[in-house]
């Protein structure tokens, strides 16, 4: 799926391929180990391994069931990544004894402390990143710097990254087959992963639709918009109202809020349905709230009114996962960069909230598909 972003500069030409040298990810923990309990909170560095591959290696080397190994999030394979794991404390001596074996397999144990509970998915604040862009001319580097400064203030669309969908991009198809009883999976963890890929695919389609709508509102006059809007159901009549279109165009941010959108306090907090668009638009511009899209499931807080007219096309009621809302828009933090003209390389560091993809941020920055 070709993503649509809000910056309109011509694509920035450079070379970036994730590798252990040019792509580094560091998990920002939600809490520190408390020094007591039946689990170990372990900080590891892995290279050229997916989180699933790392868990399998630890399971085989330590003799611990993979289900007993906890992690807060999935980390990129083609990178050097630092992340936290939890294992039962009864394996502490085995972990200490197997350090060399693990290091030969690409896993280095950096810290190990007792903790009271198993690490669960989502138990992190976010991630910090280092990327190195190569073959970047001075002119292209200046374009990148200008775009970085804009993105620091504006934020960007929070798509799921392509790696969410597997090497061939087809994981979501497999998830849909499971829903249709066309495929069965013995491994429940893999089955849940494929189903969540299908959730993610639906979210990306919804976000792309909203970004197209935002671009039209941003670039078209009310009269031009009337002639372009088609197949939006209840939105047809709304967006043919010049007064409403002017109100939408008056919103300072690119992503236009609609009545009935579900917003979430940022960077974390409760979800609520937007009633006063003008007031919430002001809070959105101040990074206090952000709109959200559906990760459909049985506990989903649904949009209402006009916003629901778009959302319902991307909700599959067959999904019996928990269901939640995902930020449709996020802000990058701690941005720093250094350009080295003698080697035509730029090094960029930044941090993102949990669940956001560095590769998606790079796509927004470069204004072209990642890869």
B/e letters for 241-277, b = 16+ CB within 10 Å, e = fewer, are eeebbeebeebebbbbbbbbbbbbebbeeeeebbeeb
Give the span between the Cα atoms of 88 and 136, in whole angstroms: 47
Query: Which pLDDT tens digit goes with each residue over 27-58?
Result: 999 989 999 999 999 999 999 999 999 999 99
The Cα–Cα gap between 313 and 68 comes to 38
User: In DSSP terms, which residues pair with 273 in a beta bridge?
Assistant: 262
Give the contacts of 50 (CB within 8 A, at least 6 positions apart).
74, 75, 76, 77
Residue 212 host element (H or E): helix 188-219
C-alpha 177/C-alpha 232 separation (Å) is 28
| pLDDT value, residue 185 | 77
Task: Tell whether the model's pLDDT for residue 80 goes beyond 70.
Answer: yes
Q: Give the C-alpha separation, 167 to 8, whole Å.
A: 29
| pLDDT for position 231 | 57
Sign of the alpha-carbon torsion through 234, 237, 239, 245? negative
Measured distance between the N- and C-terminal CA atoms of the chain, rounded to whole angstroms: 13
Tokens of 10: 């011509």
Average pLDDT of the residues in 263-277: 94
Domains of the chain, with CATH numbers? 1-16+134-155+341-371 (no CATH), 23-124 (3.30.2350.20), 162-330 (3.30.2340.10)
**Residue 227, pLDDT above cutoff 80:** no
Give the position of tokens 């006009």: 306
> Residue 237: what pLDDT?
62
48 CA to centre of own chain: 20
Considering only CA atoms, which of 25, 122, 38, 125 is closest in space to residue 83? 25
- In 3-state terms, what secondary structure has residue 116? coil
What are the φ and ψ backbone dihedral angles of 116, each rounded to 5 degrees?
-80, -25
Reply yes or no on whether the pLDDT at 18 is more than 70. Answer: yes
Average pLDDT value for residue range 252-257: 94
Query: Where does 253-367 have alpha helices with state H?
Result: 277-285, 305-311, 358-366
- Read off the pLDDT of residues 156-192 as tens digits, 9 standing for 90 and up: 999 999 888 887 788 888 888 888 887 887 777 788 8
The two structure tokens encoding residue 334: 């701690």
Q: What is the pLDDT of residues 320-367, one digit of tens each?
A: 888 899 999 999 999 999 999 999 999 999 999 999 999 999 999 999
Q: How many CB atoms lie within 10 A of CB 35?
A: 10
Q: Which pLDDT band holds residue 20 (cuts at 50, 70, 90)? A: very high
**Catalytic residue positions?**
76
pLDDT band (50, 70, 90) for residue 371 = low
The count of other CB atoms within 10 Å of the CB of residue 230 is 6
Contact predicate 50/163, CB 8 Å? no
DSSP state of 159: P
What average pLDDT does this structure show over 138-155? 96
Mean pLDDT of 311-323: 88
User: What are the tokens at 224?
Assistant: 């031009």
- Give the total residue count for the chain: 371
Do 114 and 33 touch, CB atoms closer than 8 A? yes
pLDDT for 235 equals 64
Report residue 370 as tokens.
């990642």
Q: What is the pLDDT of residue 320?
A: 82
Residue 181 pLDDT? 80
């Amino acid at each position: 799926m070709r993503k649509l972003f809000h910056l309109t500069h011509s694509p920035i030409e450079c070379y970036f391929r994730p590798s252990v040298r040019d792509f580094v990810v560091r998990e920002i923990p939600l809490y520190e180990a408390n020094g007591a309990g039946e689990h170990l909170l372990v900080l590891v560095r892995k290279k050229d391994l997916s989180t699933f591959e790392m868990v399998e290696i630890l399971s085989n080397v330590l003799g611990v069931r993979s289900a007993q190994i906890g992690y807060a999030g999935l980390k990129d394979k083609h990178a050097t990544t630092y992340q936290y794991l939890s294992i039962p404390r009864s394996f502490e001596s085995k972990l200490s004894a197997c350090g060399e074996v693990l290091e030969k397999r690409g896993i280095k144990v950096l810290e190990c402390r007792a903790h009271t509970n198993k690490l669960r998915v989502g138990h992190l604040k976010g991630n910090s990143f280092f990327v190195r862009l190569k073959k970047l001319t001075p002119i292209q580097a200046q374009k990148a710097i200008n775009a970085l400064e804009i993105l620091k203030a504006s934020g960007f669309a929070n798509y799921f990254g392509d790696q969410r969908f597997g090497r061939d991009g087809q994981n979501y198809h497999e998830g849909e087959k499971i829903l249709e009883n066309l495929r069965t999976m013995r491994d429940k963890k893999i089955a849940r992963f494929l189903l969540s890929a299908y959730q993610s695919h639906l979210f990306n389609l919804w976000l792309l639709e909203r970004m197209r709508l935002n671009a039209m509102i941003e670039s078209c006059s009310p009269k031009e918009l009337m002639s372009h809007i088609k197949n939006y159901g209840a939105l047809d009549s709304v967006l043919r109202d010049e007064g409403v279109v002017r109100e939408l165009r008056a919103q300072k941010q690119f992503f236009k809020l609609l009545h009935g959108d579900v917003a979430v306090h940022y960077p974390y907090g409760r979800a609520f349905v937007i009633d006063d668009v003008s007031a919430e638009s002001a809070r959105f511009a101040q990074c206090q709230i952000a709109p959200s899209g559906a990760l459909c499931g049985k506990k989903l807080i649904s949009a209402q009114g006009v916003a629901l007219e778009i959302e319902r096309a991307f909700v599959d009621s067959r999904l019996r996962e928990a269901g939640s809302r995902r930020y449709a828009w996020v802000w990058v933090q701690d941005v720093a960069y250094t350009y080295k003209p003698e080697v035509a390389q730029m090094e960029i560091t930044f941090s993102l909230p949990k669940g956001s993809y560095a590769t998606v941020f790079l796509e927004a920055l470069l204004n072209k598909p990642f890869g």
